[in-house]
Structure 1
Amino acid sequence: MKFAVSLSMERFSPQDSMAEAMANMLALARLADAGGFETLWTSEHHTIECTIAPNPFTILTWLAQHTERLRLGTATIVAPYWSPIRLAGEAALCDHLTGGRLEFGIARGAYQYEFDRMAGGMPQQEGVAYMKELVPAVQKLWAGDYAHDGHYWQFPLATAVPKPRQQPHPPIWVAARDPGTFDWAVGIGASILSTPLAAPPAEVAVLGEKFRKAVADHPGRRPRFMMQRRTCVYDRPDEWEVAVRHSLDHGRTFENLFQNIGTVTNGFPEAVPFETVANRANYDPASVRANLMFGTPDEVIEKLQLYEDQGVDQYCLGLSFNLPFALQQKTLRLFIDEVIPHFEARARDRSRAPRLAAAGR
C-alpha cells in the first residue's frame, strides 16, 4: 500500500492571510515530496474560503515547481463546471507543466451551495450524468480529432491542444461510492477514488467489496483503489481531543455546504448547530476518534491494516479540516518516520518470500 496526501489552501477567518495559506500548503507539499509520499491530491471549489481552489490545475502547476517526485492529482475536478474541450486542453497542458506527473481525478461534485452558483441550481446528485458524458469525450479529444453530439455538449470536429505528455493520457480516477459509478469507472479504464466519510470502519469493507465486484465484472482491467480519511497522528494516546474537535467543527461546515442549510458570509461558511446535522451518530467524539485515522503511529498502523486487507492501493491522508498547521506537520513527519517504513518493510518481506522459497530457503 502506498500513501498520498490531500491538501487545500484554507482560510477560516478574515484574519487568516492568503499568504499564510499558500505558505502552509507549500511547506506540507515539500515535506510529503521529501518523505516518500506517492501523490498529492487537491480539489476544485469555488466561492468558499475554507477550500481555496478555483482551478486545481493552476495549483498543481505551482507545486510542480517546488517538488521533484510527487505525483500531482486533481481530487477532484467537478464535471458539471467544465466543457470537454476546455477540460481536455487544461489537463493536457498541466501534464506538460508538471513534467508528466498529472493524475486526473474527477467527480460529480458534492456541495449544493456551489451547484446553486456554478451549475444553475441543479441538484448535485445529477452531476454524475455530466461526468459520464464528459470523461469519454475528453479521452477522445486527447486521442485526436473528435466531434461530439451529446445531451449536455455539442461541438464539431476538434481536438485537445496540447496533447498530454503521458501517453495515451494521464491516469484517470473517478470518485465513487455507489456501485453504479464503480462499475462505470472501471469499465472505461479508470481507477477509483473513494472515502468512507465519517462512517464506522465496516464501511471500508463495504467499499472494498464494491471495488472487487466492479473489477470482477470487467476482466482485463487493472484499476487502482485509493481511499481517503481525515488523518491526524500524534505522540500520545491522550492527545486525540484536538483532532476530534476540529473534525467535528469542520463537519458542521461541510453540512452547511452539502445540505445548503447555513449561511456563508464573504466566502466564510458558518458551522451549523449540531441539531441540524445529518447522521448525528457520526458526531459523537468517541465514534470520530475510532472511525477516522486518528491515533499514535502504532494505533494508525493497526487501523490501516483494514484498508490494506480490502485491497486499497493508496491510502490518502485528508489533512485539510482546519487542523492546526503544526499538527499537520507533525502528522506528516510521524507518518514518514514511523508509518510508511512499516508498510515498506512488509512489502519488501512479501516480495522476498517467493524468491527465498524458490531458492529452497
Structure 2
Amino acid sequence: MKFAVSLTMERFSPGVPMARVKNNLLDLARMADEGGFETLWTAEHHTIECTISPNPFQTLTWLAQHTQRIRLGTSTLVAPYWSPIRLAGEAALCDHLTDGRLEFGIARGSYQYEFDRMAGGMPQQEGVAYLKELLPAIKRLWQGDYAHDGHYWKFPLATSVPKPLQQPHPPIWVAARDPGTFDWAIAQGASILSTPLSAPAAEIQVLSDKFHKAVADHPEVSRPRFMMQRRTCVYDRPEDWQLAVQHSIDYGRAFENLFQNIGTVTNGFPEAVPYEAVKGKDNYNPESVRRNLMFGTPDEVIEKLLVYEAAGVDQYCLGLTFNLPFELQKKTINLFVREVMPFFAAREKEAERARAKVRA
C-alpha cells in the first residue's frame, strides 16, 4: 500500500493572511515530497475560504516548481463546471508544466452551495450525467481531432492543444461511492478515488466490495488502482486525541452547511450549522470520530491502516484539510514518515521476497 496526502489552501478566519495560507501549503507539500509520499492531491472548489482552489491546475503547476518526485493530482475536478475542450487543454498543459507528474481526478461535484453559484442551481446529484459525457470526450480530444454532438456540449472538429506529455494520457481517477459510478469508471479504464467519510470501519470493506465487483465485471480492462481517503491526525500520546476530534467535528458541521445548503456563508466563510441539523449524528460523537477516522498514535494508526490494506486499498490518502493547526499537520506528516511508512515498506519487501520465491 502506498501513501498520498490531500492538501489545499484553507482559511477559517478573515484575520489569517493569504500569504501565511499559501506558505503553509508549500511547506507541507515539500515535506510530503521529501518524505516519500506517492501523490499530493488537491481539490477544486469555488467561493469558499475553507478550500481555496478555483483552479487546481494552477496550484499543482506552482507546487511542481518546488517539489521533485511527488505525483500531483486533482481530487477532484468538478465535471459540470468545465467544457471538454478547455479541460482537455488545461490538463494537458499542466501535465507538461509538471514534467509528466499529473494525476487526473474528476467527479460529479458535492457541495450544493457551489452548484447554486457555478451550475445554475442544478441539484448536485445530476453532476454524474455531465461526468459521463465529459470524460469520454476529453479522452478523444487527447487523441486527436474529434467532433462532439452530446446532450450538454456540442462542438465541431477540434483537438486538445497541447496533447498530454504522458501517453496516451495522464492516469485518470474518478471519485465514486455508489456501485453504478464504480462500474462506469472502471469500464472507462479509470482508477477509483473513494472515502468512507466518517462512517465506521465496516464501510471500508463495503467500498472495497464495490470496487472488486466492478473490476471482476470488466476483465477487458487492466486492473485499475483504488485510493481511499480519511481525515488523518497522528500524535505522540493517546490522550492528545481531543484536539483532532474537535476540529473534525467543527469542520464537519461547516461541511454540512455547504453539502445540504442549510447555513449561512459570509464573505466566503461558512458557519458551522447546529448539531441538531447534521445528518448521521453518531458520526459527530467524539468517541465515534476518534475510532472511525485515522486519528491516533503511530501504533494506533498502523493498526487502523492494516484494515485498509486487507481491503485491497492501493493508496491510502491522509486528509489533512479540516482546519487542523499547522503545527499538528506538520507533526502528522513527520510521524507518518518516520514511524508509519517504514512499517508498510518492510511489509512490501517481505511480500516481494515471498513472490520471488514462488517464481523461483
Output the TM-score relative to the length of structure 2: 0.99
Q: Which residue of structure 2 lines up, in the alignment, with residue 148 of structure 1?
A: 148
Alignment pair present for 1:350 and 2:343: no
Q: Which residue of structure 2 lines up, in the alignment, with residue 159 of structure 1?
A: 159
Q: Which residue of structure 1 lines up, in the alignment, with residue 101 of structure 2?
A: 101
Q: Which residue of structure 2 lines up, in the alignment, with residue 253 of structure 1?
A: 254
Alignment pair present for 1:121 and 2:121: yes
Deviation at 1:273, TM superposition (A): 0.6
SS at structure 2 position matched to 1:231: strand
Deviation at 1:357, TM superposition (A): 5.6
Alignment pair present for 1:39 and 2:39: yes
Q: 2-side partners of 1:292 and 1:63: how far apart?
A: 28
Deviation at 1:31, TM superposition (A): 0.2
The code of the aligned residue for 2:279 comes to A
Q: 1-side partners of 2:313 and 2:21: how far apart?
A: 31
Percent identity for Structure 1 against Structure 2: 77
SS at structure 1 position matched to 2:104: strand
Q: 2-side partners of 1:98 and 1:211: how far apart?
A: 30
Q: Which residue of structure 1 lines up, in the alignment, with residue 197 of structure 2?
A: 197
Q: 2-side partners of 1:162 and 1:106: how far apart?
A: 20
Deviation at 1:221, TM superposition (A): 2.5
SS at structure 2 position matched to 1:41: strand
Alignment pair present for 1:300 and 2:263: no
Alignment pair present for 1:324 and 2:325: yes
- Number of aligned residues: 359
Q: 2-side partners of 1:71 and 1:358: how far apart?
A: 31
Q: Which residue of structure 2 lines up, in the alignment, with residue 241 of structure 1?
A: 242
- Deviations 1:40-86, CA, capped at 9 Å, x for gaps: 00000000000000000000000000000000000000000000000
SS at structure 1 position matched to 2:272: coil
The code of the aligned residue for 1:193 comes to L
Within 5 Å, give how 1:64-83 maps onto structure 2. 64-83=64-83
Q: Contact 1:186 / 1:221 at 8 angstroms: preserved in 2?
A: no
Q: 1-side partners of 2:234 and 2:281: how far apart?
A: 25
Q: Which runs of 4+ in 1 moved over 4 A?
A: 356-359
Deviation at 1:358, TM superposition (A): 6.2
Deviation at 1:28, TM superposition (A): 0.3
Q: 1-side partners of 2:150 and 2:357: how far apart?
A: 56
Q: 2-side partners of 1:24 and 1:147: how far apart?
A: 43
Q: 2-side partners of 1:141 and 1:188: how far apart?
A: 15
SS at structure 1 position matched to 2:60: helix
Within 5 Å, give how 1:132-147 maps onto structure 2. 132-147=132-147
Query: Cα RMSD between the aligned structures?
Result: 0.7
Q: Which residue of structure 1 lines up, in the alignment, with residue 223 of structure 2?
A: 222
The code of the aligned residue for 1:14 comes to P
- Deviations 1:265-297, CA, capped at 9 Å, x for gaps: 000000011011111110000000000000000
The code of the aligned residue for 1:118 comes to M
Q: Contact 1:234 / 1:295 at 8 angstroms: preserved in 2?
A: yes
Q: Which residue of structure 2 lines up, in the alignment, with residue 131 of structure 1?
A: 131
Q: 2-side partners of 1:173 and 1:211: how far apart?
A: 13
Q: 2-side partners of 1:132 and 1:107: how far apart?
A: 10
Q: 1-side partners of 2:13 and 2:64: how far apart?
A: 28
Q: 2-side partners of 1:146 and 1:19: how far apart?
A: 42
SS at structure 1 position matched to 2:14: coil
Deviation at 1:10, TM superposition (A): 0.6
Moved more, 346-355 or 58-67: 346-355
Deviation at 1:353, TM superposition (A): 1.9
Output the TM-score relative to the length of structure 1: 0.99
Q: 2-side partners of 1:212 and 1:16: how far apart?
A: 44
The code of the aligned residue for 2:314 comes to D
Q: 2-side partners of 1:193 and 1:102: how far apart?
A: 15
Q: 2-side partners of 1:127 and 1:281: how far apart?
A: 28
Q: Which residue of structure 1 lines up, in the alignment, with residue 85 of structure 2?
A: 85
The code of the aligned residue for 2:65 comes to Q
Alignment pair present for 1:59 and 2:54: no
Q: 2-side partners of 1:69 and 1:95: how far apart?
A: 14
- Deviations 1:206-225, CA, capped at 9 Å, x for gaps: 00000000000000421000
SS at structure 2 position matched to 1:173: strand
Q: 1-side partners of 2:223 and 2:105: how far apart?
A: 17
